[in-house]
């Protein structure tokens, strides 16, 4: 039995009368690549915000690396890395400085900081650009720097909210190559949301499909495809579970933020 | 994962300075801001100050009017620079930077105070400008090292106070448009209901009372005490410091409590 690194139990979040996440229960094993899929407004981002302690749940809870998100938030924060959907590195600092500040905030031992930063830059193929201002980086470089920044402290779980939104196919492949390498080298569990089914298909060990705040399907891509009968693709699975969703969730602010992110990265 | 136990207070102080350090590192990339900021105090001292000094319209006791307002204008420019600090915070929220810092184990109060201090250090340039203008205008300044050190500390504390206040407002309004509106509405009353450009003795009773609740009044009083060659404090320098420190502490605690709102 593999070690469970993420255990979600009846996780629920309401905003007024609207239930964004409705009694979500699932667990993720250490070292797994886990994709959370669903149409806009399905509750994916709200789920990630609760798991990263940014948003308190209305009821239910979760344990991340053994720490409760409601009562041991600092423990959770030490154990995770988080790459938000929006651009989260600072354009007015260099790539190196963006990493240095996080090395310090996560209490990396002083004598290890430089080695870790150098390693992270090397790993993400950013060594040559370390001293340049991030404002001059391309979209793919920004995402790679963000991943380097969130994994400097070797988190057990890395949460990524639509990590490849707004990137061209080549940059997307590069980001995934680095993510897969990271899992191989450090055993990092990857928990991410995406709209791209082909990414889920080629990289995920298991996926979950959310629909209107509820978990509708959970399993490997093959299992889910087989569950609809022979000859079905992941696209059929997605349409089957989430296809009837009305586009209710995203408000103006969320949409403009997403477009702005895409623009900044692209 | 390297989780070593660190005393919460040590961690708080350390993290505060990490945040300050990186806020200041951003500064070296953009110096135009420093130059444009110099304009406002120059206008107030060279135009407003000159006119009112000439007419003898203000009764400022035994110190000339220009001497009287020089510390007031310094306090005002610190206020004006610091009060719009919340815009940066909203900008960082729109980007996703705030969320990432909040998902890190950094104490919330360190995130807030660290930003406040950096605003304080950024604002020191206003001190240099006002001292330069004062020299030009013949204001009798106190050049003793202790007095200069006090002015330095007061500027940093005052900017920390008002930038944290600004951050608290940002946590409520959350958008740039609303923030600009609220910022405009707040700065002028804070400025006019203070002793910055006229003595509180000239005010009607109700306004005088309001000015005594306004932290800017104590900042001005402290600056006036330390900056000028011959000036006596209205409230006493230690009381000024006390008010400034207590207000800042309360604002940092409130800010630390509200800051996570920006991630939702």
Q: Residue B123: CB partners within 8 Å, gap ≥ 6?
A: B77, B78, B81, B82, B155, B156, B158, B159
For residue A77, give the nearest of B2, B22, B104 by CB distance: B104
Q: Which residues of chain A have pLDDT under 50?
A: 245-246
| Residue A47: alpha-carbon gap to chain centroid | 11
**According to the model, what pLDDT value does residue B5 have?**
64
Q: What is the pTM of this model?
A: 0.88
- CB nearest A78 (choices: B1, B100, B260): B1
Q: Which residues does A260 contact at the CB level (< 8 Å), separation at least 6?
A: A86, B94
pLDDT for residue B26: 86
Using DSSP's 3-state secondary structure scheme, residue A133 falls into strand
CB contact under 8 A, B11 and A107: yes
pLDDT of residue A263: 64
Q: What is the pLDDT of residue A253?
A: 63
What is the model's pLDDT at position B245? 97
List the beta bridge partners of residue A35.
Answer: A192, A207
Q: Is A77 within 8 Å of B105 when comparing Cβ atoms?
A: yes
Taking CA–CA distances from A57, the nearest residue in chain B reads B264
Say how far apart CA B245 and CA B240 lie, in whole Å: 9
Q: How far is B37 from chain A (nearest CA, A)?
A: 20
Name the closest residue on chain B to residue A85, using Cα atoms: B96
Half-sphere exposure of A161 (CA within 13 A, CB side): 23
Integer Cα distance of B65 and B21 in angstroms: 39
Contact residues on chain A for B102, CB-CB shorter than 8 A: 53-54
Instruction: Give B-chain residues touching A149 at CB under 8 angstroms.
Output: 100
Looking at CA atoms only, how far is residue A128 from chain B in angstroms? 20
Supply the pLDDT for residue B52. Answer: 85
Residue ranges per domain, chain A? 4-88+157-265
The residue ranges of every structural domain in chain B are 29-263
Q: For residue range A128-184, what is the model confidence (pLDDT) as tens digits?
A: 999 999 999 998 899 999 999 999 999 999 999 999 888 888 888 888 988 998 899
The CATH H-level superfamily of A4-88+157-265 is P-loop containing nucleotide triphosphate hydrolases (3.40.50.300)
Query: For residue B60, what pLDDT is reported?
Result: 81
Digit-by-digit pLDDT tens for chain B (264 residues) are 444 566 888 889 999 999 999 988 887 766 777 778 888 899 999 998 888 888 676 778 778 999 999 999 999 999 999 998 899 999 999 888 999 999 999 999 999 999 999 999 989 999 999 999 999 999 999 999 999 999 999 999 999 999 999 999 999 999 999 999 898 888 889 999 999 999 888 899 999 999 999 999 999 999 999 999 988 888 999 999 999 999 999 999 999 999 999 987
Ordered strands of the A214-219 beta sheet: A80-83, A157-161, A189-193, A33-37, A206-211, A214-219
Instruction: Say yes or no for a CB contact (<8 Å) between B99 and A155.
Output: no
Size of interface A-B (CB pairs under 8 A): 90
The length of chain B, given as a count of residues: 264
């Amino acid at each position: 039995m593999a070690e469970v690194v993420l255990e979600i139990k009846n996780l629920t979040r309401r905003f007024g009368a609207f239930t964004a996440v409705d009694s979500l229960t699932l667990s993720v094993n250490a070292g797994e690549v886990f994709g959370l899929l669903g149409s806009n407004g399905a509750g994916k981002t709200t789920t990630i915000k609760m798991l990263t302690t940014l948003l308190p749940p209305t009821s239910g809870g979760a344990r991340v690396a053994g720490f409760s998100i409601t009562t041991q938030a600092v423990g959770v924060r030490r154990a995770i890395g988080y790459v938000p959907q929006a651009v989260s590195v600072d354009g007015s600092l260099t790539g190196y400085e963006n990493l240095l500040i996080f090395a310090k905030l996560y209490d990396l031992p002083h004598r290890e900081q430089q080695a870790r930063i150098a390693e992270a830059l090397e790993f993400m193929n950013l060594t040559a650009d370390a001293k340049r201002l991030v404002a001059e980086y391309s979209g793919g470089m920004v995402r790679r720097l963000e991943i380097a920044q969130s994994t400097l402290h070797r988190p057990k779980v890395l949460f990524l909210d639509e990590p490849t939104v707004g990137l061209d196919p080549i940059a997307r492949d590069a980001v995934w190559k680095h993510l897969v390498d990271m899992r191989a080298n450090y055993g990092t569990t990857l928990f991410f949301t995406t709209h791209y089914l082909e990414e889920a298909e080629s990289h995920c060990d298991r996926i979950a499909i959310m629909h209107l705040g509820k978990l509708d399907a959970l399993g490997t891509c093959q299992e889910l495809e087989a569950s609809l009968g022979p000859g079905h693709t992941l696209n059929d699975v997605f349409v089957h579970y989430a296809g009837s969703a009305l586009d209710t969730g995203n408000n103006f602010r969320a949409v403009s933020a997403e477009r702005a992110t895409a623009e900044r990265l692209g | 994962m390297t989780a070593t136990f660190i005393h919460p207070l040590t961690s708080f102080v350390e993290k505060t300075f990490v945040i300050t350090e990186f806020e200041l590192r951003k500064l070296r990339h953009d110096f135009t801001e420093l130059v444009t900021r110099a304009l406002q105090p120059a206008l107030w001292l060279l135009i407003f100050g000159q006119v009112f000094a000439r007419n003898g319209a203000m009764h400022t006791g035994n110190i000339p009017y220009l001497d009287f307002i020089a510390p007031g204008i310094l306090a005002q420019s610190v206020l004006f620079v610091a009060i719009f600090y919340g815009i940066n915070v909203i900008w960082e929220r729109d980007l996703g930077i705030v969320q990432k810092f909040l998902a890190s184990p950094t104490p919330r109060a360190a995130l807030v105070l660290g930003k406040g201090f950096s605003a304080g250090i950024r604002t020191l340039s206003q001190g240099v400008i006002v001292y330069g203008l004062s020299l030009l205008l013949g204001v009798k300044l106190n050049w003793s090292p202790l007095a200069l050190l006090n002015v330095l500390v007061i500027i940093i504390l005052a900017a920390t106070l008002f930038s944290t206040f600004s951050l608290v407002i940002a946590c409520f309004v959350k958008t740039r448009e609303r923030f600009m509106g609220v910022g405009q509405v707040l700065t002028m009353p804070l400025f006019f209901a203070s002793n910055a450009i006229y003595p509180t003795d000239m005010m009607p009773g109700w306004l005088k009372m309001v000015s005594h609740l306004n932290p800017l009044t104590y900042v001005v009083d402290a600056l006036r005490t330390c900056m000028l060659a011959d000036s006596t404090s209205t409230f006493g320098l230690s009381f000024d410091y006390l008010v400034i420190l207590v207000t800042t502490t309360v604002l940092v605690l409130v800010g630390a409590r509200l800051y996570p709102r920006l991630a939702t």
